Amino acid sequence: METIILDDERSIARLAAGAFVDLLARKPDAVLGLATGSSPLGVYDELAARHEDGDISFARARAFTLDEYVGLPADHPETYRNVINRDFTSRVDIDPDAVRGPDGLAEVIPASCAEYEAAIAAAGGVDLQVLGIGAVGHIGFNEPGSSFASRTRIKTLTHQTRVDNARFFDGDVDAVPSHCLTQGLGTIMDARHVVLIATGRHKAEAVHHLVEGPVSAMWPGTILQHHPHATVLLDSAAASRLQLADYFREAYRGKPSWQGL
């Protein structure tokens, strides 16, 4: 796991966007893994700007989202399909049919989740997965206690996650769905490169466990310590509880410029 601490969110967004640009330059039909929420917004802004400048095309790319609320009507502005469309995919030239997410309105949820896993596998697996991390340590919506071997399935959201996401539902916790479909930890671990972004002091405890804690289902993101190619991008506030912060800063300062993420 490479942990990089940067001064501001713009630098984080630029660095993460660079990983997408490099990937699509060498593999135009790459498979992208997309997260919703606040953490990747700067990356999506940066990618939209670089697309506008003609630096990057998503015309042949495919994308899979991490998760979806269960039971929200298709036209609800907070379904993750609508969120990812608004925040990112409608702003670049990716084919809308090449963007898939778990089906939160599926009649038979286990079959639908198995189909989603099969679609990711048929596409050749995810090349680059962008992730945020919840204050409770989840990645995707793999809440504490999730199996490290889990695949796409239904999960009950913790009360804390619903409180955290109430800001997207006019502050009304009860309006946040109680269940979601999420790629499992096993699914996420299959991505060839994972880039996790965390900013702000409210993420510091989760980041402390993610980077320096023992690997534990109580802090599901810690499974990424076993990923062969995981990059963690932090601002100083999110990194504020890391014992090794000075070492990570020094290592990044000394990193050769030819070495990408």
Residues engaged in binding ligand F6R (CB under 6 A) = 35-39, 66-67, 132-134, 138-141
Distance between the two ends of the chain, CA-based, in angstroms? 11
For the chain, what is the largest distance between any 2 Cα atoms, rounded to a whole number of angstroms?
Answer: 53
Helices 9-26 and 41-52 cross at an angle (nearest 10°) of 50
Give CA–CA dist 102/204, Å, rounded: 29
By the 10 Å C-beta count (0-12 exposed, 13-18 middle, 19+ buried), 145 is classed as: exposed
- How many Cβ atoms sit within 10 Å of the Cβ of residue 159? 12
* Per-residue three-class SS string for 36-79: CCCCCHHHHHHHHHHHHCCCCCCCCCEEEECEEECCCCCCCCCC
Question: Please, what is the minimum distance in Å from the beta carbon of residue 126 to ligand F6R?
Answer: 14
**Is 36 or 89 the residue whose CB approaches ligand F6R more closely?**
36
Question: Please, what is the minimum distance in Å from the beta carbon of residue 35 to ligand F6R?
Answer: 4
Question: Please, what is the minimum distance in Å from the beta carbon of residue 65 to ligand F6R?
Answer: 7
- Helix or strand (DSSP H, E) at 157: none
Torsion angles phi and psi, residue 34, rounded to 5:
-115, 140
**Is 133 or 242 the residue whose CB approaches ligand F6R more closely?**
133
**Is 62 or 162 the residue whose CB approaches ligand F6R more closely?**
162
What is the per-residue burial (b if ≥16 Cβ within 10 Å, else e) of 231-248?
A: bbbbbbebbbbbeebeeb
Question: Please, what is the minimum distance in Å from the beta carbon of residue 67 to ligand F6R?
Answer: 5
Question: Please, what is the minimum distance in Å from the beta carbon of residue 80 to ligand F6R?
Answer: 6
Question: Please, what is the minimum distance in Å from the beta carbon of residue 34 to ligand F6R?
Answer: 8
**Is 107 or 224 the residue whose CB approaches ligand F6R more closely?**
224
**Is 34 or 56 the residue whose CB approaches ligand F6R more closely?**
34
- Residue 125 DSSP SS3: coil
Task: Tell me the residue nearest to ligand F6R as measured from the CB.
Answer: 132
**Is 3 or 146 the residue whose CB approaches ligand F6R more closely?**
146
Question: Please, what is the minimum distance in Å from the beta carbon of residue 1 to ligand F6R?
Answer: 17
**Is 42 or 94 the residue whose CB approaches ligand F6R more closely?**
42
